[in-house]
Amino acid sequence: MVQIPRTPDPAPPAPLPVPTSTDVARRAGVSRATVSYVLNGSGTVRISEPTRRRVQQAARELGYVPHAAARALRSGHSRMVLVTAPSYPAGPIYHRFLDELQWALGRLGYTVVQHGTAPRHGARGPYSDDAARTWAELRPVAVLVPGSGLRPDAVDLLRRSGARAVLTLGPETVPGAHALLTDHEAVGHRAGRHLHDRGRRRIGVVVPTEPGHEVFATPRLAGVRRAVAGTTATVTELPLAYAEGDAARLAADWGPLGLDAVFAYNDEYAMLLMRALQDEGLGVPEDVALLGADDLMLGRLLRPRLSTVHLELPSGRDLAALVDRAVRDPAAPPERHTVLGAQVVHRESS
């Protein structure tokens, strides 16, 4: 960070005392109870119009903002939905989904808060109790955990701390938690079947070596295997780091592999590999068919245009509704939903 020359700047006003509902009450000449009634529009109690006005004006003049923590403490529950940071590097698809979810939950009166305790080096394990404890301290009414690694005891901890619903969005179910299953096995299966349908018989499957991707890569690989089970086709695992050098290495050793198709994990790895293959003089799709996933824009810009598996997360509205339902009936048995739409988009590379 570089300090740049600055013109003298007016110091901010000394920290004023934060106005409370008591201040509003005093200023409006009413009791705190009345203030609360006016500002929260309690259903049962009626306040006269003049009083109501005085209170609202006093609140405005003071810049009064209610204290969410105090409210939660008193009322025994918050409207906070905590979304934890995904355990994997999230892409544009996830962010669009989260945006939608936030908006939909907002309409239902919830406040969405993201907590990014990304598991760092040296952490004891995925979603160690430490992380879950931090979440629990916030006393969210619901917790959504995208990705994998949520442990059953963490679910327990959260529920015992008052969370009325715990939901996972990922490849596995966790006891006690509602599950939105992203069925990556099905993604692999679609990919495998597509390549097999196109007449390919020696299929490679890229498995990123970067940590955090196993969650998707493993079931996708299994899906491809299942797709060609009972046929003459073979499936070969292709570890690959997201780096030019590694792709070049893989491409250089391509011959002996004898592969005629690759499901490249996603569009970005596909682009990486396509480039390396082409640089090595191999033809796509003549020599080797290439299939990505995610349907990113960049796939359409490649030559040949990249075939891909288009993925679709659940609509934010649907998920918001599920959260709301779960919160209203915390004792209901966990729901399980399959939420990952997967569809092959056939373009030119396969």
Partner DNA sequence: TTGAAAGCGCTACCAT
Partner DNA sequence: ATGGTAGCGCTTTCAA
Instruction: Report the residue number, 68 or 243, with the smaller CB distance to DNA.
Output: 68
Buried-exposed string 241-264: b where 16+ CB fall within 10 A, e elsewhere: ebeeebbbebbeebeeeebbbbbb
- The token pair that represents 145 in the structure block: 């955990």
Q: Rule CB under 7 A: say whether 317 interacts with DNA.
A: no
Per-position DSSP letters for 40-96, written without gaps between them:
HT-SS----HHHHHHHHHHHHHHT----HHHHHHHHS---EEEEEPPSS---HHHHH
Answer whether 313's CB lies under 8 Å from 93's CB.
yes
Answer whether 131's CB lies under 8 Å from 119's CB.
yes
Q: Rule CB under 7 A: say whether 159 interacts with DNA.
A: no
Residues in the chain: 350
Instruction: Report the residue number, 207 or 320, with the smaller CB distance to its own copies.
Output: 320
Q: Rule CB under 8 A: say whether 184 interacts with its own copies.
A: no
Q: Rule CB under 7 A: say whether 67 interacts with DNA.
A: yes
Binding mask 198-237 for its own copies (x = CB under 8 A): ----------------------------------------
Instruction: Report the residue number, 52 or 220, with the smaller CB distance to DNA.
Output: 52
Instruction: Report the residue number, 34 or 349, with the smaller CB distance to DNA.
Output: 34
Q: In this structure, are strands 307-312 and 341-345 parallel, antiparallel, or unpaired?
A: antiparallel
Q: Is residue 162 packed enough to be buried (19+ CB in 10 Å), middle (13-18) or exposed (0-12)?
A: middle
CA distance 224 to 269: 17
Answer whether 85's CB lies under 8 Å from 117's CB.
yes
Instruction: Report the residue number, 55 or 144, with the smaller CB distance to DNA.
Output: 55
Binds DNA (CB under 7 A): choice among 8, 50, 122, 245: 50
Binds its own copies (CB under 8 A): choice among 22, 29, 45, 99: 99
Q: Is residue 319 packed enough to be buried (19+ CB in 10 Å), middle (13-18) or exposed (0-12)?
A: buried
CA distance 224 to 202: 11
CB of 301 vs its own copies, minimal distance in Å:
4
Binds DNA (CB under 7 A): choice among 26, 32, 159, 201: 32
**Applying CB under 7 A, which part among 38-46, 142-150, 195-203, 321-329 lies near DNA?**
38-46
CA distance 3 to 62: 36
Q: Rule CB under 7 A: say whether 51 interacts with DNA.
A: yes
User: Could you tell which of DNA, its own copies, none binds residue 128, using a CB distance below 5 to 8 A set by kind?
Assistant: none
Binding mask 173-192 for DNA (x = CB under 7 A): --------------------
Q: Rule CB under 7 A: say whether 74 interacts with DNA.
A: yes
Q: Rule CB under 7 A: say whether 34 interacts with DNA.
A: yes
**Applying CB under 7 A, which part among 46-54, 103-111, 117-125, 293-301 lies near DNA?**
46-54
Q: Rule CB under 7 A: say whether 71 interacts with DNA.
A: yes
Q: Rule CB under 7 A: say whether 46 interacts with DNA.
A: yes
Binds its own copies (CB under 8 A): choice among 47, 90, 257, 282: 90
CA distance 213 to 240: 11
CB of 112 vs its own copies, minimal distance in Å:
6
Q: Rule CB under 7 A: say whether 114 interacts with DNA.
A: no
Q: In this structure, are strands 165-170 and 111-115 parallel, antiparallel, or unpaired?
A: unpaired
User: Could you tell which of DNA, its own copies, none binds residue 21, using a CB distance below 5 to 8 A set by kind?
Assistant: DNA
DSSP code of 302? S
**Under the rule (CB under 7 A), what is the footprint of DNA?**
18, 20-22, 29-37, 39-40, 42, 44-48, 50-52, 64, 66-67, 70-71, 73-76
